[in-house]
């Protein structure tokens, strides 16, 4: 079909073929060409301006160096923050990060070739490069200030441990007095059995219980003593009577005996007396423990404080990224020169990481960019012309198809007209023959 006909013959030389060029300089090869290929340079176009090969070779080297520094930064970061990782894993992650940085920088550079890049577009690329540079620069800064950061972290952790121990000592007195009423001591109280204050509290509680039980026992004994006195009075020989020929106690005496016996059982005086004896024995034991607590409690308290202090010291982070970042901030803020050096190193590393895009800012548009831009423009025009030719071919093909359909419709209409006229003539002949036959029959009938 006409729409499949290209603008150029298939056997014609492509645009990338430089045969017959006025500058038949062969394309570059070797390591330099591979470096230029990293940033998307086309050697067949660069052959027109070989003077810029050196520029783009070093441009590719800049991109490669940035990726290498990124891999080094990642390996340093993993080695510092995750020292438990195997070396193979560290190298694998560093290789992946090298590839990611290389791809991003290659895209950032190659996307600026040829066309006239706007300043805001380069600004966005520069911002992306700065963000990438921040991620790459921090681990390197941590390694540069490693000694100072570790010293600052050690001093800070010692101060934290000392403050923690001071709160433990302040919130846990040697006499065991409670500090629950102090809000700052809620997280620093230690539970140690046998403190003098606890034993004093237990002794006071035991004495209070013993006193209450003693009062209750005395009250029961007084009542029981009264009932026993009434029993002795009612059951005395003076109150005996003759019953069945013998002297016997009265019914009132028997009732008094039953009342006193029943009261002894219901009042549980024996149980209370045993409990009172146990409380008195416990009071003596607590008194002995209280006398010895001053000597035994303080070592237990000191041992508990030491244990909690060691746990606090072991729980403090020394290699975490946030801890090291805080240490770097403290080091930079404690000395003016350290702050100045930190800013300079930050800017230096950021400038190095953003150098691929900064190089485009500084170099501006090159002859290679103009040649590539001209090739883009030629390709655009060629594509537009190709589309126009295809459109024209398609339109003519549609015209041919329309004309073919019109001719075919005319032929079919003429055929239908001919068939219609033939059919009418045949019907007329048949009708004429039928009328003649009828006329012959009528005439024969009349003659007969």
pLDDT per position as a tens digit, 19-45? 444 555 666 678 888 888 888 888 888
389 domain-assigned: no
Q: Mind listing the pLDDT tens digit for each residue in 390-426?
A: 999 999 999 999 999 999 999 999 999 999 999 999 9
Kindly state whether residues 299 and 329 are assigned to the same domain: no
Kindly state whether residues 129 and 255 are assigned to the same domain: no
Choice among 283-292, 304-313, 420-429, 438-447 with the minimum mean pLDDT: 283-292
Quick check: helix, strand or coil at residue 358?
helix
DSSP state of 145: T
Kindly state whether residues 67 and 97 are assigned to the same domain: yes
53 domain-assigned: yes
Choice among 46-50, 135-139, 220-224 with the minimum mean pLDDT: 135-139
Kindly state whether residues 193 and 308 are assigned to the same domain: yes
Kindly state whether residues 199 and 114 are assigned to the same domain: no
**Which one has a higher pLDDT value, 71 or 357?**
71
Number of domains present in the structure of the chain: 2
pLDDT the model gives residue 4:
40
Rounded to whole angstroms, the maximal C-alpha distance in the chain is 191
Crossing angle of helices 269-315 and 196-234, in 10° steps, is 170
388 domain-assigned: no
Q: What residue numbers bound the domain in which 77 lies?
A: 8-154+324-364
Kindly state whether residues 311 and 360 are assigned to the same domain: no
410 domain-assigned: no
Burial class (CB in 10 A: 0-12, 13-18, 19+), 406: exposed
pLDDT the model gives residue 413:
92
Judged by phi (left if over 0) then psi (alpha if -120 to 50, else beta), residue 357 lies in alpha
Element (H, E) at 130: helix 119-144
425 domain-assigned: no
Tokens of 349: 């590393």
pLDDT the model gives residue 90:
84
Q: How confident is the model at residue 194 (pLDDT cuts 50, 70, 90)?
A: low
Kindly state whether residues 57 and 186 are assigned to the same domain: no
pLDDT the model gives residue 375:
80
Kindly state whether residues 87 and 183 are assigned to the same domain: no
pLDDT the model gives residue 5:
38
DSSP state of 172: S
For 204, other C-beta atoms within 10 Å of its C-beta total 11
Answer with the one of 307, 336, 364 that is the final residue of a domain: 364
253 domain-assigned: yes
Kindly state whether residues 85 and 146 are assigned to the same domain: yes
Q: Mind listing the pLDDT tens digit for each residue in 137-183?
A: 777 777 777 777 778 888 888 888 888 888 888 887 776 666 767 78
Kindly state whether residues 229 and 295 are assigned to the same domain: yes
Kindly state whether residues 259 and 332 are assigned to the same domain: no
Task: In whole angstroms, give the CA distance from residue 267 to residue 221.
Answer: 10
Choice among 56-60, 158-162, 319-323 with the minimum mean pLDDT: 319-323
Crossing angle of helices 336-353 and 321-334, in 10° steps, is 130
Look over the chain and give the mean of its residue pLDDT values, rounded to a whole number: 76
Kindly state whether residues 84 and 23 are assigned to the same domain: yes
CA 127 to chain centre: 24
162 domain-assigned: no
Judged by phi (left if over 0) then psi (alpha if -120 to 50, else beta), residue 198 lies in alpha
**Which one has a higher pLDDT value, 354 or 17?**
354
- As beta bridge partners, residue 243 has 246
Q: Mind listing the pLDDT tens digit for each residue in 259-289?
A: 777 777 777 777 878 887 888 787 777 676 6
427 domain-assigned: no
To which residue do tokens 């746990």 refer? Answer: 311
């Amino acid at each position: 079909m006409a729409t499949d006909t290209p603008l150029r013959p298939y056997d014609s030389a492509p645009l990338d073929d430089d045969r017959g060029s006025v500058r038949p300089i062969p394309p570059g090869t070797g390591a330099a060409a591979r470096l230029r290929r990293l940033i998307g340079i086309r050697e067949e176009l660069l052959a027109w301006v070989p003077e810029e090969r050196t520029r783009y070779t070093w441009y590719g080297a800049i991109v490669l160096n940035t990726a290498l520094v990124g891999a080094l930064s990642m390996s340093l970061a993993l080695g510092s923050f995750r020292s438990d990782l195997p070396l193979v894993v560290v190298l694998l992650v560093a290789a992946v990060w090298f590839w990611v940085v290389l791809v991003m920088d290659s895209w950032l550079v190659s996307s600026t070739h040829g066309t006239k890049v706007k300043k805001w577009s380069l600004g966005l690329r520069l911002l992306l490069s700065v963000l990438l540079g921040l991620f790459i620069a921090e681990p390197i800064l941590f390694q540069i200030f490693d000694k100072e950061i570790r010293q600052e972290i050690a001093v800070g952790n010692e101060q934290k441990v000392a403050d923690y121990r001071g709160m433990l000592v302040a919130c846990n007195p040697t006499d065991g007095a409670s500090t629950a009423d102090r809000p700052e001591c809620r997280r620093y109280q230690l539970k140690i059995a046998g403190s003098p204050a606890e034993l004093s509290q237990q002794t006071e509680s035991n004495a209070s219980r013993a006193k209450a039980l003693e009062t209750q026992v005395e009250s029961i004994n007084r009542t029981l003593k009264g009932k026993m006195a009434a029993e002795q009075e009612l059951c005395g020989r003076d109150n005996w009577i003759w019953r069945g020929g013998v002297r016997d106690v009265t019914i009132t005496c028997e009732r008094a005996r039953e009342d006193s016996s029943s009261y002894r059982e219901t009042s549980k005086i024996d149980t209370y007396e045993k409990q009172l004896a146990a409380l008195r024995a416990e009071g003596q034991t607590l008194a002995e423990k209280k006398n010895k607590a001053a000597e035994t409690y303080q070592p237990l308290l000191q041992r508990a404080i030491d244990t909690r202090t060691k746990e606090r010291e072991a729980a403090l982070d020394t290699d975490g990224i946030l801890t090291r970042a805080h240490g770097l901030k403290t080091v930079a803020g404690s000395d003016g020169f350290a702050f100045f050096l930190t800013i300079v190193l930050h800017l230096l590393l950021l400038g190095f990481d953003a150098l691929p895009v900064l190089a485009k800012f500084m170099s501006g548009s090159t002859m290679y960019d103009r040649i590539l831009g001209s090739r883009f423009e030629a390709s655009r025009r060629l594509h537009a012309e190709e589309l126009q030719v295809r459109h024209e071919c398609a339109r003519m093909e549609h015209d041919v198809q329309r004309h073919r359909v019109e001719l075919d419709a005319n032929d079919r209409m003429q055929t239908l007209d001919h068939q219609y006229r033939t059919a009418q003539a045949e019907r007329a002949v048949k009708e004429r023959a039928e009328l003649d036959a009828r006329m012959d029959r009528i005439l024969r009938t009349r003659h007969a």
